Amino acid sequence: MECACVQVPMDDCSTEFWKERLVKSALKTHTCGECRRQIEIGESYLNISGVWDGSFYAHKLCSDCQSVVEAFFCNGYIFEQVWEALHEHIREGDGDMSESKIAGLSQQALERVCGMIEDCW
């Protein structure tokens, strides 16, 4: 496989401004915008907020989903579509995946990605 990056068409996304902030210790529980699991008090997460297509939007990523985004989404991603886009990418490549990309994943993300790969085999 030449490139392990998930290519996402970003033509329809118009960002007026946005900011990204790594929160090292959550003060309250939140829900990850990608996997929907609860981000617990004390856990780190990525907080993204800004204006897209004229509307304010806030998005939180748990550390597992953040590791997937950092490893596979080289040119951006669409909120709430990370796992679906990655699964499609894995299916299109018949489960062929760069070991160097997988090595940087958190343990929970690694287990989920390996399950997707096994499903393709």
- Write down the mean pLDDT value for the chain: 88
Q: Which amino acid appears at position 21 of this protein?
A: R
Q: Which amino acid appears at position 81 of this protein?
A: Q
pLDDT of residue 48: 95
Average pLDDT on 69-87 reads 91
What pLDDT band is residue 58 in, cutting at 50, 70 and 90?
very high
pLDDT of residue 45: 97
Segments making up each domain of the chain, as ranges = 16-120
Spatial CB neighbours of 55, under 8 Å, sequence gap ≥ 6: none
Q: Return the closest-CA partner of residue 27 out of 9, 38, 7, 43.
A: 43
Q: Return the closest-CA partner of residue 34 out of 106, 87, 83, 105.
A: 83
Q: Which CATH class is domain 16-120?
A: alpha beta
pLDDT of residue 1: 42
* pLDDT tens per residue, range 20-35: 999 999 999 999 999 9
